[in-house]
Amino acid sequence: MTRRVLILMRHGKSAYPTGIGDHERPLAPRGQREAALAGDWLREHQPPVDGILCSTSLRTRETLIATKLDAPTRFDETIYGASPHQLIDLVHGVDDAVSTLLILGHAPGMPYTTWELASNRSSPPAEQVSKKFPTSALAILEFDLPWYQLDTGLAELVAFHIPR
**pTM (predicted TM-score):** 0.97
Band of the pLDDT at 135, cuts 50, 70, 90? very high
Q: What is the pLDDT of residues 75-126, one digit of tens each?
A: 999 999 999 999 999 999 999 999 999 999 999 999 999 999 999 999 999 9
Percentage of the chain modeled with pLDDT above 70: 99
Strand (E) or helix (H) holding 51: strand 51-54
Query: How is residue 47 annotated by DSSP?
Result: P
Distance CA 80, CA 59 (A): 11
Arithmetic mean of pLDDT over the chain: 96
Radius of gyration of the chain from its Cα atoms, rounded to whole angstroms: 15
Q: What is the pLDDT of residue 127?
A: 93
Band of the pLDDT at 161, cuts 50, 70, 90? very high
Residues β-bridged to residue 139: 8, 160
Band of the pLDDT at 20, cuts 50, 70, 90? very high
Band of the pLDDT at 2, cuts 50, 70, 90? confident
Contacts of 50 (CB under 8 A, 6+ apart): 71, 72, 97, 98, 99, 100, 101
DSSP code string of 68-123: T--S-EEE-GGGTT--HHHHHHHHHTS-TT-SEEEEEE-TTHHHHHHHHHBS-TTS
Q: What is the pLDDT of residue 1?
A: 61
Of 119, 76, 71, nearest in space to 97 by CA:
71
pLDDT (average), residues 135-164:
97
DSSP three-state, residue 46: coil
Q: What is the pLDDT of residue 109?
A: 97
Whether the Cβ atoms of residue 69 and residue 46 lie closer than 8 Å to each other: no
